[in-house]
Every structure is written in C-alpha cells, then in structure tokens.
Chains A and B, each alone.
Chain A
Amino acid sequence: MIQDLLTNAISAITGLHLRPASSSARETDALLFALIGGTILVLGLVFGLMLYYVVRYRHGTKASRDGSDAKSWRFEISWTVATLVVFFGLFVWGADLYVRLFQPPANAIRIAVTGKQWMWKAEHPGGQSEINALHVPINQPIELLMTSEDVIHDFSIPAFRIKHDVLPGRYTSLWFTAVEPGTYNLFCTQFCGTDHSQMGGKVVVMEAPAFQNWLETSRTSVGLVAEGQVLFTRYGCSGCHAAGQPGMAAARGSLSSVRAPPLDGVYGHPVPLNDGTVVIADDQYIRDSILMPARQIVAGYANQMPPFAGVVSEGDLVRLLAYIKSLGANR
C-alpha cells in the first residue's frame, strides 16, 4: 500500500504518465508552457507589487506620498493596450492550433467509434472491433468518426491533448498522429450518468509490424467477447461487478463499499466460498452463478444478485461467458 502510494507519487508529481504522445500534443504543450511562463511573470508582478506597496505604504511609514493623485489615464491606456495586444497574440496562436486539429490529413485511417452508457466501441476498417480500447499504429494519422447511441459523451486522450464531444444523431470527428509507442488512458469527459467515471479504457500505440500482427489475430475471437461485454453492461452486471479495469478492480477490492466480487482474473482460478469450500471458476461455475447466484456465495459477500435463470437466453449466456473468460487473464 505504502509502496504503491510512493510509486504513484513519483509518477504523479513528475507527470511521467503524461508525456506528449502525439504530434499535436507537443504543439499544445508549447502554447501551454508559454502561457504558464506568462502567468508566472504577471503573477510575480501583481503579487510583488502588492507586497511591496503594502509594506512600503503601510500606515505610519515615512515613505513619500507626494504626487499620489497624479493623472492616471496614461497608465490606464497603456495597460489596456498592452493587455489587448498580448491577448490578441494568444488568441491567434490558440486558434491556429485549433483549426489544424479540425483538418485531418487525406491519408488518415478512419476508425468508427461509438459511445454508449458506459462503454466505447471502436471498429477498424478491416472489421476488427474492440471495446474500451483502441489500438493504433505509430506515425500514422488516425481519424475517429464518432457518434453516440444515447447521451452526449466525450472521447478524450490526455496524452494526445485532444478530446471531442460525441453526440447522438450526428458524427463528430477527431484526428491525431501518435508518435510514442505505449499505453495511454482514454476517458469519457462529458458527464454521462451513473458510471461516467468507469467509461474509459486504453489507447495502445504500436509499432507498425506489431499493429499488423494485432489486426491479424483480433479478427476472429473478438466478436463473441465484444458482444459479451455489451451484454455485461446491458444486463446491469457492470453496475456491481468491476470488470475490465484491473487497476480499478484492485483498488476497489481493498474497500468495503464494494457490493459484488470483481470479475477480473476470476476465470480458471480458485474461488473461496462462504461455506468454507473452494471451487475452481470454470464454465459451469460461472454459468451457475449467473443463473442461480444464491447457490454458491463468494466468501465475504452477501447475496444481493437476482437469479438470471429465464432472463438470459442461451446465446447471450455464451457471449457473457466468453467475455468473463477473457477477463481471466487480467489478474
């Protein structure tokens, strides 16, 4: 726990997890640092003058007050004009960046992104689809064509310094060129209801050969798992069971507010039950736990889950199983 905190602290304070990872991110950072520099200068001036004045001109000092009612309009005009000029410069700089963020290059690969409460689905041109994840090759412009099935969401990748709202009934777009391989956070940043803070995932930036490999391998089995994940949300499983975010699940596991056992890393592993026995979580166990949850209760939890027998069709059950199986590797 302490060690975790320390590691997190170092990463958090240095911002290592947020080095600019796209071509535009570096430009955004340049403007940001210019703004930070200017802010420090102005703050220094304001705080400095304020402190200097309140000390020098505090009641009772002998500092000269002559000429304190001198005409002020020269000062007024000069600082008004000065701020106007600086502000106009900042405006032009920011607007230039923004306009370019809205003009995807012609050779961009188009990936369709759909947001819904509370998950992201991405579909590649080759038919590969993924849930709460986005795999992209490095140094290749990517354009996301995004829409929502319900409320307004927002697709945000802080490491790329970009985000855009995802609206129902129309397409919006976002483009980037990743320049650093790695795995980055993906967030929904427009408040979208109960599990808004869970509506995220990972953006994985890969070298071209690795990405080709990923495309080849994910063409097949991903279908059932992806559909299973949709059902996992639709049947309300995700309301209580943490899944698909190992870090989050681990953090949750240590807390008393958890209402149901997290499902990451469950499949194929031993599960202690509250009658003292231990079972291996195989297909039959998962199946029984969905249809008749009261039969086997995981140690440390109360049974609050309704039975899904007669609710979940056999086809859906297969997909849910595939999804929960896929979580087995997340330990």
Chain B
Amino acid sequence: MIHPVLAWILLMLLLAVEVLAALLHVGWLAWAAAPVMIVVVALMFMHVAQESPLRRIFAITGLVWIAILLSLGSADFAARHNYPAPQQVIGVR
C-alpha cells in the first residue's frame, strides 16, 4: 500500500493540472483529471481495493445506476428540438 502522503501529493498535482487545463482552455484535460482524482481517493483513502467484493459491488452498483440515469435521461434532451413559444419572461432586465 502506498503511503497516504504520496496519494495527497498526487492529488495536489492533479488539482493543479485541472486548474491549468481550465485556464488554458484544454477542456478534455479538466474532464480527464477529475475521474483520476476520484479513483485515487477511492483507492487510497477509502481503501476500495482492500474491501470485500460485496462492498465493491455496492459501490459499483451506485455508479451503474447513475450511468442509467444520465444516459437514458439525457438522451431525450439530446434527441429533441424544442420550438420555443413566446411567453411572459420574469425578472430579466
């Protein structure tokens, strides 16, 4: 097991990468760094690798269900075109 200090240093580096990516408009890098950070936290701080299979299944199930929600749920909005109708607009200058 890697010492948590190394994990912390790695996370700080990744955070720097993320911020730089956003400032330099490298969108995909900001996208890519976040999952890596989450994996690092999960492995190093939450000890997912050492957990019993049961608890890993619980965690993975949560992710799978989020995938269902995001994919099936956003498919509608991606595949639909709304024809906006005029209506009263509130509070905009």
A and B touch in the complex (CB under 8 A): yes
A248 to chain B, nearest CB (A): 30
> Is A300 an interface residue when CB atoms closer than 8 A count as contact?
no
Specify which chain B residues have a CB less than 8 angstroms from the CB of A147 in the assembled complex. Answer: 85, 87
Q: Chain B: how many interface residues by the 8 Å CB criterion?
A: 5
Bound Cα distance from A149 to B87, whole angstroms: 7
> Is A211 an interface residue when CB atoms closer than 8 A count as contact?
no
Q: Is the CB of B87 within 8 A of A168?
A: yes
Instruction: Return the CB mask of A274-307 against B: 1 if under 8 Å, else 0.
Output: 0000000000000000000000000000000000
Specify which chain A residues have a CB less than 8 angstroms from the CB of B82 in the assembled complex. Answer: 170
Instruction: Return the CB mask of B66-93 against A: 1 if under 8 Å, else 0.
Output: 0000000000000000111101000000
Specify which chain A residues have a CB less than 8 angstroms from the CB of B85 in the assembled complex. Answer: 147, 168-171
User: Which A167-184 residues sit within 8 Å CB-CB of chain B?
Assistant: 168-171
User: Which B45-80 residues sit within 8 Å CB-CB of chain A?
Assistant: none
Bound Cα distance from A147 to B87, whole angstroms: 10
Specify which chain B residues have a CB less than 8 angstroms from the CB of A169 in the assembled complex. Answer: 84-85, 87
Number of A-B contacts (CB under 8 A): 15
Bound Cα distance from A149 to B83, whole angstroms: 15
Bound Cα distance from A185 to B85, whole angstroms: 27
Specify which chain A residues have a CB less than 8 angstroms from the CB of B84 in the assembled complex. Answer: 169-171
Specify which chain A residues have a CB less than 8 angstroms from the CB of B87 in the assembled complex. Answer: 147, 149, 168-169
User: Which A23-55 residues sit within 8 Å CB-CB of chain B?
Assistant: none
B87: nearest chain-A partner, CB-CB? A169
Bound Cα distance from A57 to B9, whole angstroms: 73
A171: nearest chain-B partner, CB-CB? B83
A15 to chain B, nearest CB (A): 35
Specify which chain A residues have a CB less than 8 angstroms from the CB of B83 in the assembled complex. Answer: 170-171
A146: nearest chain-B partner, CB-CB? B85
B3 to chain A, nearest CB (A): 53
Q: Which of B83, B85, B87 lies at the interface centre, i.e. has the most chain A CB atoms within 10 A of its CB?
A: B85
B89 to chain A, nearest CB (A): 10
B82 to chain A, nearest CB (A): 5
B87 to chain A, nearest CB (A): 5
Q: Supply 13 further A-B pairs (C-beta < 8 A) apart from A149-B87, A170-B84.
A: A147-B85, A147-B87, A168-B85, A168-B87, A169-B84, A169-B85, A169-B87, A170-B82, A170-B83, A170-B85, A171-B83, A171-B84, A171-B85
A interface with B by C-beta (< 8 Å): 147, 149, 168-171
Q: Which 4 A-B pairs have the closest CB atoms?
A: A147-B85, A171-B83, A170-B82, A171-B85
